[in-house]
Structure 1
Amino acid sequence: MKWKLGDMVHGFRVNAMSHIEEVNSDAYVMEHVKSGARLMYLDNDDDNKVFYIAFRTTPDNSKGVPHIMEHSTLCGSRKYPLKEPFVELAKGSLNTFLNAITWPDKTMYPIASRNDVDFHNLMDVYLDAVFYPNCLKNPQILMQEGWHYELENKEAPLTYNGVVYNEMKGALSSPEAIMEDRAMEKLFPDTTYGVESGGDPEVIPTLSFREFTEFHRRFYHPSNSYIYLYGNMDIDKTLEYLDGEYLSAFDRRNVDSMVKTQAPFGKRISVTAPYGIAENEGTEGKAIHALYNAFNDHMSTMDSLAFRILNYVLIDMDGAPLKQAVLDAGLGSDLSGSYGDSYKQPVWIVEVTGSEVDKQQAFADVVDSTLRSIALKGLDKDMLEAALNRTEFTARENDYQGRPKGLFYGVRAMDLWLYDRDPMEALRYIDDINTLRDNLKTNYFENLLLRYVIKNPHQVLITMKPEKGLTEKMNRETAEKLAAFKSSLSDEQLDEIMASTKALKERQASGETEEALETIPLLSRKDLKRTVEEEVLEKENVSGMDHFHFGVHTNGITYLNLYFPLSGLTEEDIPYAILLSTLLRSLSTTKHSYGELARLSNAYTGGMSFAVNGYGKVEDTNAYLPALTVRAKALTAKADKLLDLLGEVINHTLFTDTKRLKELILQEKSEWDMTAFSRGHSLVMTRLTSYFSRGGEFAEQSG
């Protein structure tokens, strides 16, 4: 360890320290004595360094000021007076992550880079942005990023415009988003979780410039900040920089940003909310029902981890009892569940799609009776053990889809740190998993279900009801409201709105000055590494097949990809191949039921997936190779079990259970329908690529 408890390092006092085996790091929790800033540092040999500064932001209304402030702070600052410094910064950066994120109770500004100079540049731009933003003195930034009245001429209609306003109109147009918004409002009526931190388009236009700047003054102070550092860096130099360049300019103060605890309910609340569908759409099978459960705010990390396992066993695993009960009762086409512990009070959601409005109570009754029966009779211990093994595999693998793992560690730490709990405990899981494995012999999981759900009345039962033309109706009401407001304005007031509209457009259209551009720190050639890191791909022939192998450190995990060319299929057959890929592993085989397969997969592997992909040729846009791609992984010690299961699924799957086939197809359709909005950008991208190559056409079909 670098320091001892109580050591002072460039204004920071070491308050806690420990080695965390799970993230292979020495962890230090520190405090900047003068400013009150909190800091956590994970010291390890990872050269993909991560920094963030986060603030606890707890709004009491849905005007969207945390979200708008997140956008606006990045529109120029004291040192970097450009309109969009990050656009210019990215042109000369080697960042591996650069973003800003708003949650219901916090706002985070994270960056990551493997280059030391780049890392410091990005950190400096972010710190200057959050502490000295130009948006506090330039109302045009709030107009651009938040909202403003827009009027081109006196004959034109008066409208609302603004980046966050338009973004949230889109975000809150899906039934899933509307449902979450309404359910959280009812579940947490007295806390910050009951409002929309991203902003409700109906309320955003009531945000004033004074409220906006007051929000920054209140929350964007070091005493309300959480600074996170991760990776192999010159930590002494970094702490000296943080102290001397920024934090020492501030004095500690009390910031009222505490996340309140919602008092528990005496009974479950039921509510129905509408969502819009097109006039020509049918309403049959379009209702959604969900049960939201709020837990207490002192849940242990072990109980929280156990509830993730419970959610998987009850709903996500093939043969899951709660999912089977709801589907067998004919209450919908698919059941999903999610457990979120990134709140002070964790929330468990059970949701059925493809239902009817009048089945709300039937859905609640089936959920209640099934959970009571499970708690009384007990959970399948094999399923629990398989789910626990899967959870352990996922935790050990640390697969973050190419993003910096240090960032995910930092986000995870905030799940406790933000609520004045030990952030290091959020990163530990080995002891909890070992204890949970011992608890498989007891009724621990059943008692957990009893305590947190069955005997917990802090619940909201919500139904989303499809309503034809609702979106159009709301748009008309907004237009009528604006028209009435416009008619109440004098000519001078209309001239003022037109002048501000013109001035904003001129600002947006103008380029950056040379003087401003020169302030952006860019990398030079001397800052770059002169060596290229290469991974060696080994090729050999195994039983007549080409085998490619990367010899890299995988923490004892074997990753296997298999490619089966589909060149013998006609284009008419390809959709059926795609459907087949969604069915494999979810149907029974000659040896095992699909439920047993799921348990074996979880017990011995880290997962198996099947997909149909098209692989294009660089030299010929009209040529591509369709293939069924199999991706699988397991601990190397269990690789033989993985191969046995793959062989069984590929060669011995049964397609005779028509009831199960129909269930899976309806689930796939329901999932596609419900995620189409969130995947809109991907759908547009595949549509665009379809115009340029045959491989692109295939990608659109298979997407």
Structure 2
Amino acid sequence: MLTDRWPPFMNAFTASDYTMYPFSDAEFQRFPESSVGLFDAVFFPCLRELDFWQEGWRLENSDPQDPSSPLVFKGVVFNEMKGAFSDNERLYAQHLQQLLLPDHTYSHTSGGQPLAIPDLTWDQLRHFHQTHYHPSNARFFTYGDLPLEQHLKQIQDEALVRFQRTQPDTHVPKQQPWTTPREAHVSCSPDVMAPDPNKQHTLTVSYLLGDITDVFESFVLSLISSLMISGPNAPFYRTLIEPNIGSDFSSMVGYDGSTRQGCFTVGLQGIAEHDASRVKRIIHDTLDDIIAKGFEEERIEALLHKLEIQIKHQSSSFGLSLASYIASCWNHEGDPIELLRVGENVDLFRRKIAQNPNFLQEKVRHYFKENTHTLTLSMSPDEDYVKKQADSEEVKLRQKIQQLNEDNRKDIYQKGLQLLSEQTKVQDVSCLPALQISDIQPHLTYTHTHISTTAGVPIQYCEQPTNGMVYFRALLNINTLAEELKPYTPLFCSVITKMGCGGLDYKQQAQQMDLYTGGMSVTPQILPDHTHMDTYEQGILLSSSCLERNVSEMFHLWSDIFNSPHFEDSERLRSLVMMSAQELANGVADSGHVMAMTRAARSLSPASQLQETFGGMEQVKFMKRVAESSDLTSVLRKLARVKRHLLNAENMRCAINAAPPKMAAVALQTEGFVGSVAATRKQRKAVRPHITERPLDPSADPSSSLATRKLVSEPSFQACAMKTFYQLPFPVNFVSECVRTVPYTHPDYASLCVLARLMSSKFLHGEIREKGGAYGGGARIGGGGVYSFYSYRDPNSTGTLSAFRRGVDWARSGSFTQQDIDQSKLSVFSQVDAPLAPSEKGLSVFLWGLSDDMRQQHRERLFNVTHTHLVDTANRYLSVGKCVSAAAILGPQNEALSKDPSWICH
């Protein structure tokens, strides 16, 4: 309820040995009042038995209102963890930690093994909270422009003064070191989306390292980890990735400082089982080679440059990032202030290297070669894995049921009815402090930008306090690209900065990027029009950043990528293809709700159709086919064709964010880059016949409107209903229904925004999470006008689709209060008014053509949304028969859907 009651951000992050409760508010004046909710949530939760049944686990009739229906396990966290352990990467990471640190805290699963959760009792939970979630066991972190004394006084008055100091035994002891290395194996479910179905084996070698409270030693080990694995110049990249033994590094690769003692892991996923011994041998041989040769000085300098960039870069979540960075070390009595003195650690590191040229090799020898606390962990798919997990759950369920007598069964039925009644009640939140709509600023803060043109290319300049950084973006539309080449666009974007360019091979290119930039990326962009549902901009976005002193080098690299990218090395391409395909396959289990929404929306608008091609299940399947190709020569030729259409300054506009004193110099460098790529541009005939040019900032003076968006119009597009089911080896579902509505500037769009938040918090949360047991669910609307219902890690499938429809009926009935509306508006404004980093200012107009005047108009419409508007909007756009909707489900075998001809099953 807290995030619906206030605009602030509030959450709970569960680590292996602590829980973090981050809270933030952009308004200093309301911070003291609104932060009261944080202290109540952490130190004074109700923890009623009903809450435990709902959120944890319970035995309940499958139909709570029918005592003859079978008893089943229910509970939000129970289903959440079932979903979490259906993710092979999460499963592997959990086993690795438990096996490497088996003697105490880390041998347990912090979120709970799914079949261990039903052994937890309500009394155990309350006792654990009383013991551990106590101010004596807490650490407080504050960040922001606020008087520290006032904030500390509030912590004292709201929390500390209400407790007596205790001595909770939460100290995590050190792991007893092993005298000999160990090996272990775990099983997982097969991955139907894997790049190569015959290569689904994972193998890593992990080394337990030193105490993370030794800040400098941990700093050095983190640097060594990056030197060994990060980028194509790293030793392990050369020996493990380049030979194409597997699809990618294991997801657990690198240094991990989240536990009392750090660890380093290296290995591969997507290998053949017979290659396991080869991978182990390569790992040991590579360590020998590092000890003998060390690391190149230029690579060390590139890594230290990246650290400098990280220190200077400002993000909108900077305070939260700092808190997360220091949490583990501080939790184990380390010095958080010392941890933040990165510059001092860099200086000490330089002195150590200067004093002893073999400093790093000696560390590698000590921590890796001579380390006997080493775990070799392998994982391979078991065709019966999902069935075995289901059978284990069934055994556990039978054991629980066998312990019941008739009175227990009656009690379960009565408690089920009691919980159902509680879930149906409207919560009384009058005791909570509440903001008023009048507390929200009526006007947004305008961002000043200036547009000029060089060689016909518009350039937007935005002066911001960027802390010595320069941020560059370029958007290039892809209107001339043939339809058969469109699916290759994401792959092109992924590889174009990694294949080499100009006189640099891909290793030299990577080194130059690390030495002179904060990263260079290219991503596909589908930007819906804010006035028409069937109009959109399609393109690619070039993004990079650098220190002010390195602008020239950054643009030189971009010039080489534009003018002379390399598309000759098929083996290099194969490595990148396998990594990309593996990343897409791995992402389905964690982002299944996004995949479901993307799939459902594809038949509702042209922009959504292209989004499915670029980033949905279609792209996952497409990359799997590419990865399975024995010869990538034809792919290289296609990528070269894509390049000729995409990297064309004829269809480019640029944006620069930099500090005012440096903007003039940066502008000269930008104009030089634009001139160098514009000189080689070629005119190409557009493939699509319907191209509309619209000023980037419609509110600007027409005589100064130099930039235009080249929009694709598809007036003949026919939205249609479509239902798709993907059977995947998950024990839970990801469900979505999407509805075609209206674009951003339509007067009803603001009502749809508020309605989505209202339905999520006041109806769908109760139906999908509290009653249905899904980990999450709700409604949202995107800028393209597609209204999406979704659920995440959901034990139900078509039942959730019915809940979506009941939500529409609830909204149409107007069964909500003005207080509900105000809370929903506050929640919407918390997103609208979310802080923007200096690097992000001006992007709304640059990318989407949303001027400050247009955003202000949308803001005013949000203020003016009424009860009547919401009911009318629900009737007009979401009612059956008045809307075009489509659905998608990703989940386990479903015989009902397989037999239903209205569903397209994959």
Alignment TM-score, normalising by the size of structure 2: 0.64
Secondary structure at the aligned position of 2:33 is classed as: helix
**2: distance between equivalents of 1:528 and 1:621?**
30
Query: What corresponds to 2:472 in structure 1?
Result: 560
Query: What corresponds to 2:558 in structure 1?
Result: 646
**1: distance between equivalents of 2:475 and 2:368?**
44
**1: distance between equivalents of 2:27 and 2:273?**
55
CA contact (8 A) 1:607 1:633 kept: yes
Query: What corresponds to 1:141 in structure 2?
Result: 51
CA contact (8 A) 2:242 2:575 kept: no
CA contact (8 A) 1:310 1:445 kept: yes
Q: 1:311 to 1:691 in 2, by over 3 A?
A: farther
Q: Does 1:181 align with 2:63?
A: no
Query: What corresponds to 1:131 in structure 2?
Result: 43
Return the match for 2:300 from 384, 401, 404: 384
**2: distance between equivalents of 1:262 and 1:182?**
16
Q: Does 1:244 align with 2:157?
A: yes
Q: 1:299 to 1:129 in 2, by over 3 A?
A: closer
Secondary structure at the aligned position of 2:139 is classed as: strand
Give 1:364 shift.
1.6
CA contact (8 A) 2:213 2:332 kept: no
Cα RMSD, aligned residues only: 2.1
Deviation readout 1:121-161 (Å, 9 max, x if unpaired)? 332112122222211xx211111111110114454222111
Once the two structures are superposed, the pairs formed by residues 650-689 of structure 1 within 5 Å of their partners are: 650-689=562-601
Secondary structure at the aligned position of 2:59 is classed as: strand
CA contact (8 A) 2:203 2:377 kept: yes
Give 1:607 shift.
0.8
Give 1:168 shift.
0.5
Q: Does 1:323 align with 2:237?
A: yes
CA contact (8 A) 2:32 2:154 kept: no
Once the two structures are superposed, the pairs formed by residues 216-295 of structure 1 within 5 Å of their partners are: 216-277=129-190, 283-295=197-209
Return the match for 2:417 from 502, 507, 527: 502
Query: What corresponds to 1:473 in structure 2?
Result: 388
CA contact (8 A) 2:472 2:543 kept: yes
Give 1:200 shift.
0.4
Query: What corresponds to 1:524 in structure 2?
Result: 436
Spell out structure 1 runs of 4+ moving beyond 6 A. 278-282
**2: distance between equivalents of 1:392 and 1:449?**
24
CA contact (8 A) 2:115 2:396 kept: no
**2: distance between equivalents of 1:596 and 1:542?**
30
CA contact (8 A) 1:385 1:440 kept: no
Q: State the percentage of identical aligned residues.
A: 24
Query: What corresponds to 1:94 in structure 2?
Result: 7
CA contact (8 A) 1:285 1:332 kept: yes
CA contact (8 A) 1:587 1:653 kept: yes
Q: 1:476 to 1:156 in 2, by over 3 A?
A: farther
Query: What corresponds to 1:207 in structure 2?
Result: 120
Deviation readout 1:603-637 (Å, 9 max, x if unpaired)? 11111001121122111221222212110111111
Query: What corresponds to 1:13 in structure 2?
Result: none
Give 1:298 shift.
5.3
CA contact (8 A) 1:415 1:423 kept: no
Query: What corresponds to 1:333 in structure 2?
Result: 247
Query: What corresponds to 1:77 in structure 2?
Result: none
**What letter is aligned with 1:409?**
L
**What letter is aligned with 1:583?**
V
Q: Does 1:355 align with 2:271?
A: yes
Query: What corresponds to 1:415 in structure 2?
Result: 328
CA contact (8 A) 1:387 1:599 kept: no
Give 1:485 shift.
4.2
**2: distance between equivalents of 1:488 and 1:215?**
26
**2: distance between equivalents of 1:663 and 1:278?**
19
CA contact (8 A) 2:489 2:614 kept: no
Deviation readout 1:73-129 (Å, 9 max, x if unpaired)? xxxxxxxxxxxx32xxx334231x211111111111111012134322332112122
Deviation readout 1:536-585 (Å, 9 max, x if unpaired)? 11111122111111110101111000112110012211122322111112
**1: distance between equivalents of 2:478 and 2:243?**
39
Query: What corresponds to 1:46 in structure 2?
Result: none
Q: 1:161 to 1:624 in 2, by over 3 A?
A: same
Quick check: 433-442 or 169-178, which moved more? 433-442
**1: distance between equivalents of 2:541 and 2:269?**
29
**1: distance between equivalents of 2:557 and 2:17?**
44
Query: What corresponds to 2:378 in structure 1?
Result: 463
**1: distance between equivalents of 2:192 and 2:469?**
52
Give 1:325 shift.
0.8
Q: Does 1:312 align with 2:226?
A: yes
**2: distance between equivalents of 1:437 and 1:647?**
33
Quick check: 273-282 or 113-122, which moved more? 273-282
Q: 1:347 to 1:118 in 2, by over 3 A?
A: farther
**2: distance between equivalents of 1:484 and 1:536?**
67
CA contact (8 A) 2:191 2:197 kept: no
CA contact (8 A) 2:213 2:335 kept: no
Query: What corresponds to 1:62 in structure 2?
Result: none
Deviation readout 1:281-328 (Å, 9 max, x if unpaired)? 985101111222221215633332333333333222123221221235
Q: Does 1:539 align with 2:460?
A: no
Q: 1:330 to 1:538 in 2, by over 3 A?
A: closer
Quick check: 643-652 or 241-250, which moved more? 241-250
Quick check: 319-328 or 522-531, which moved more? 522-531
Query: What corresponds to 2:286 in structure 1?
Result: 370
Query: What corresponds to 1:26 in structure 2?
Result: none
CA contact (8 A) 1:94 1:115 kept: no
CA contact (8 A) 1:293 1:347 kept: yes
**What letter is aligned with 1:568?**
T
Deviation readout 1:508-545 (Å, 9 max, x if unpaired)? 12112xxx321121113564446642211111112211
**1: distance between equivalents of 2:422 and 2:5?**
24
CA contact (8 A) 2:208 2:263 kept: yes
Query: What corresponds to 2:22 in structure 1?
Result: 110
**1: distance between equivalents of 2:530 and 2:154?**
47
**What letter is aligned with 2:205?**
L
Alignment TM-score, normalising by the size of structure 1: 0.82
Q: 1:682 to 1:447 in 2, by over 3 A?
A: farther
Give 1:439 shift.
4.6
Return the match for 1:169 from 66, 75, 82: 82
CA contact (8 A) 1:158 1:483 kept: no
Give 1:329 shift.
5.0
**What letter is aligned with 2:184?**
V
Give 1:244 shift.
2.7
CA contact (8 A) 1:311 1:338 kept: yes
**What letter is aligned with 1:494?**
R
Query: What corresponds to 2:358 in structure 1?
Result: 443
Secondary structure at the aligned position of 2:589 is classed as: coil
Q: Does 1:702 align with 2:702?
A: no
Query: What corresponds to 1:50 in structure 2?
Result: none
**2: distance between equivalents of 1:620 and 1:554?**
35
**2: distance between equivalents of 1:245 and 1:590?**
62
Query: What corresponds to 2:895 in structure 1?
Result: none
The structure carrying a bigger strand percent of its residues is 1
Q: 1:655 to 1:283 in 2, by over 3 A?
A: closer
Query: What corresponds to 1:36 in structure 2?
Result: none
Quick check: 207-216 or 336-345, which moved more? 336-345
Query: What corresponds to 1:394 in structure 2?
Result: 310
Give 1:418 shift.
1.1
CA contact (8 A) 2:212 2:218 kept: no
Return the match for 1:492 from 397, 407, 411: 407
**1: distance between equivalents of 2:411 and 2:491?**
58
Give 1:236 shift.
3.2
CA contact (8 A) 2:602 2:612 kept: yes
Secondary structure at the aligned position of 2:69 is classed as: coil
CA contact (8 A) 1:185 1:193 kept: yes
Unpaired stretches in structure 1, ≥5 consecutive residues:
1-84
**2: distance between equivalents of 1:659 and 1:590?**
19
CA contact (8 A) 2:291 2:362 kept: yes
